[in-house]
Structure 1
Amino acid sequence: MDEKPSTRKSPEFCSLRYGLAFIMHFSNFTMITQRVSLSIAIIAMVNSTQQPGLLNTSTERPLAFTFNHSNRSIREVNTAEVSVYEWSPETQGIIFSSINYGIILTLIPSGYLAGIFGAKQMLGAGLLISSLLTLFTPLTADFGVILVIVIRTVQGMAQGMAWTGQFTIWAKWAPPLERSKLTSIAGSGSIGCVCCLLWFTVIYDDPLHHPCISIREKEHIVSSLAQQSSSPRRSVPIKSMVRCLPLWAIFTGFFSHFWLCTIIITYLPTYISSVLRVNIRDSGVLSSLPFIAAASCTILGGQLADFLLSRNLLRLITVRKLFSSLGLLLPSLCAVALPFVASSYTTTIILLILIPGTSNLCDSGFIINTLDVAPRYASFLMGISRGFGLIAGIISSTATGFLISQDSVSGWRNVFFLAAAVNMFGLVFYLTFGQAEIQHWAKERTLTRL
């Protein structure tokens, strides 16, 4: 990336590439919502007597209590009226992680196929299937936990199809100096079926074939990507990839990042309900705040990263490592502090908001680093990267369920300490081996015809 791409400007927020980013934003928002909705609903679905350290009644505090200690009002409610399923914390951990099993099954093949046949149909179909399965989830719960796990696994397969192909599209639509900005807008986010209509109607795999794109915008995108190969690849250099330490640095970063993020995404409502003793209504409100912070930090981080690059204030690798460091170090510090401030509701909520918010700064770091080191194989490598992240999510979800089932207080402390340790390992490895130059095996090779 030493070569500077074209700096010719085209209209930004009125352009098709930004329209694509916003449609992807709503699509990603939909899939994240479909994943976390069960995490909030499960508080009312499970028998709270299964939770360690809790009696047959649960203490609920209204939202005002969280921020106003002078208005403390504690009311006891019988959870038997809302408890339906006797799912232990270990069982809940398996349910939460089952969607990751499905995503893993489709990440690599969908990424490879999206690079060959185009990502539009694959993304649209994945979003539609995931949306439909979400509608059936409440019905399947009545037929047993096994069917819930199966539905969540299939839903994960559909989401895997939708997640991976995005980088195939951005490899053709995003100018290098706008990659952080565009991918952060797309990634910062029930609407599902509506998004599908927009997706199949107005989205195209590349700007060259879009019937409505302006000549100015098309020339801007094409000239910005001129130094990168757009020809179809004949084979994937697996051996070279396996020996590439910069790729392993990205994979390790994904593993570390997803470990803590999965815990926050899946267990945040449970933590707020069981540790802070907040009722389910207010738990839903509080659980939404970290995601608002995450969306804001993702967009602001992308804007800042592209600003630093466009003004030549920092080198590309410096920007990637800076945002990776912030995205792994800051949430680790917040996670380690959580057990020590459990008695302060306001401080706990602030830290819970900061963890996903600061974690998403990684989106401008190693998350999009595959577009720097191997743009020709970005979709395939993104599938592998997310595979490492999902393996971390499976392990962390299951381990969290096991740890908090032993003892609620020490269990949560061990959960956060372990997550911080994993983050620190990933950060050190990425800072040591991370790069931002196109690797030799990913460069275009001139074919000689005899």
Structure 2
Amino acid sequence: MQRHVDNTQAGDGTEAEQDEAPLLAQQPSSRTGLCSARCGLALVLHISLFVAYALRVSLSIAIVAMTNSSHPHGWSGSAPHSSYPAFAQDGVIFPAQYTLWAKWAPPLERSRLMNIADAGCTFGTFFALLVAGIICQTLGWPFVFYIFGGVGCVWCLCWFLLVYEDPAHHPWISAREQEYIMSLLAHQQVERPKKAWTACAGDVRQERRHWLMFYSFQGSSHGHSLPLVAMAKSLPLWAITVACFCTDWLFYMLLTSMPTFMSNVLHFDLRENGLLSSLPYVGNGLGHILAGLLADFLLARRVLGTAAVRKLFSALGMLLPAIFLVAVPYIGCSSTVVVVLLTLALTIISMTGAGININHIDIAPRYAGFLLGITNTFGIVAGIIAPTAVGLLVSQDLQTGWRNAFFVSAALNLFGLIFYIAFGSGTIQDWAREDTAVQ
């Protein structure tokens, strides 16, 4: 599958020349900056994910205060990290977001738009860790529900007023931006004759009718049967799935076990533990944004093709954290260095946001939401198994158990990276094409 797809896409040049060059050279530009509708959508999604994750984490903190009989209106000083498999609730949010971006994000802006939105997850978590505890201590735990729940209800109304399915149905988008987005996405889906892209100004209406027909087909394609057999045989899809499983194993292993490691091995108190455990959220959020900007810069300057960019950022986001984990057991008694390495591991892993996470839309924009649901399921399974495996290893011997836990996570990340580099792709797969949309 991989060889066939790459050969059919090669044409007269490399993948970068085939995909990015025509988009840059032959399409109208739209540089409306932060005032554009697509940037507005990224901001709305960022706030939505911020609110969703703040609600989830604040609920976890409020439950601790509710069940703490000795401090009925207080907070114990740390979030109940055992409740994080609760991330299964995200099974609806992220596929819906990817379905939107498949119709809104131009290929050369996809990384930064999606990563700006995704950064809301970690910033929302960090905000809730700081604010929810203060609310419990000063006002009492019921006000966590009143305040965060009220904000969620208000933002839900804003969501229905501000978000539209695609540029063709947005009432406030400029004609220039609408043409820019729709033409790039239509060109990505089907290879059209060169003469169609050299139409004179009088043919603009005809071109826009083609794009509107393309979007109409996109909207109606949800009722068609899914190519499940082709998906199951797709090595690029399996590459993303395996890499997501391995990455999420490391991510959730650190996320859920880092407070325990700091307490039992590094002997930090609760206040130090809570602060240090929350720092990676800030680094992870900033890393998402920076990685998205850098990935799109490399694509826009045609330094690398889509597949190369996705593999580069996946390599950085998977290999470096694995190296840091392997180094931790050999640091010795330097708790500061250990904390720095673990924080860097959780920060740098955000670079996969411009790699495997976005690759769903690269290979199958039509089914991006469905594919994310599949890979996210594997990630959830990894997030459930990883803390359990750590608990079993640590229960046998503290020092050796933690060392083995770090080594297993690093080895899985290395395996997932090798598999992704070998079989990953940056081009739309044959089973996901929209060739019939313009016939």
TM-score with structure 1 length normalisation?
A: 0.72
Partner residue in 2 for 1:226? 186
Aligned partner of 1:15 among 10, 32, 36: 36
Residue segments in structure 1 that go unaligned for 5+ positions in a row: 48-79, 84-91, 104-155
Shift of 1:82: 7.4
Shift of 1:413: 1.5
Map 1:118-197 → 2, pairs under 5 A: 156=89, 159-189=90-120, 190=148, 192-197=152-157
Shift of 1:267: 2.3
How many equivalent residue pairs?
Answer: 352
Residues 23 and 195, structure 1, Cα contact 8 Å, conserved in 2? no
Residues 327 and 360, structure 1, Cα contact 8 Å, conserved in 2? yes
Residues 250 and 369, structure 1, Cα contact 8 Å, conserved in 2? yes
Shift of 1:33: 4.1
Query: Partner letter of residue 95 of structure 2?
Result: T
Which 4+ stretches in 1 moved above 6 angstroms? 38-47, 80-83
Residues 28 and 186, structure 1, Cα contact 8 Å, conserved in 2? yes
Query: Partner letter of residue 37 of structure 2?
Result: L
Matched, 1:333 2:323: yes
Residues 341 and 348, structure 1, Cα contact 8 Å, conserved in 2? yes
Map 1:107-118 → 2, pairs under 5 A: none
- SS of residue paired to 2:345: helix
Residues 188 and 299, structure 1, Cα contact 8 Å, conserved in 2? yes
Residues 394 and 401, structure 2, Cα contact 8 Å, conserved in 1? yes
Residues 254 and 389, structure 1, Cα contact 8 Å, conserved in 2? yes
Query: Partner letter of residue 223 of structure 1?
Result: S
CA distance 1:415–1:317, shift in 2 (3 Å): same
Partner residue in 2 for 1:413? 403
Residues 248 and 379, structure 2, Cα contact 8 Å, conserved in 1? yes
Residues 95 and 368, structure 2, Cα contact 8 Å, conserved in 1? no
> Following the alignment from structure 1 to structure 2, what is the Cα–Cα distance between the partners of residues 316 and 334?
28
> Following the alignment from structure 1 to structure 2, what is the Cα–Cα distance between the partners of residues 287 and 42?
19
CA distance 1:195–1:377, shift in 2 (3 Å): same
Residue segments in structure 2 that go unaligned for 5+ positions in a row: 1-14, 73-79, 121-147, 190-213
Partner residue in 2 for 1:375? 365
Partner residue in 1 for 2:160? 200
- SS of residue paired to 2:368: helix
Query: Partner letter of residue 394 of structure 1?
Result: I
Shift of 1:45: 9.9
> Following the alignment from structure 1 to structure 2, what is the Cα–Cα distance between the partners of residues 183 and 243?
27
CA distance 1:307–1:11, shift in 2 (3 Å): same
Shift of 1:177: 0.5
- SS of residue paired to 1:367: coil
Map 1:16-55 → 2, pairs under 5 A: 16-34=37-55
Shift of 1:400: 1.9
Query: Partner letter of residue 185 of structure 1?
Result: I
Matched, 1:209 2:169: yes
Partner residue in 1 for 2:387? 397
Query: Partner letter of residue 422 of structure 1?
Result: L
TM-score with structure 2 length normalisation?
A: 0.74
Shift of 1:296: 1.1
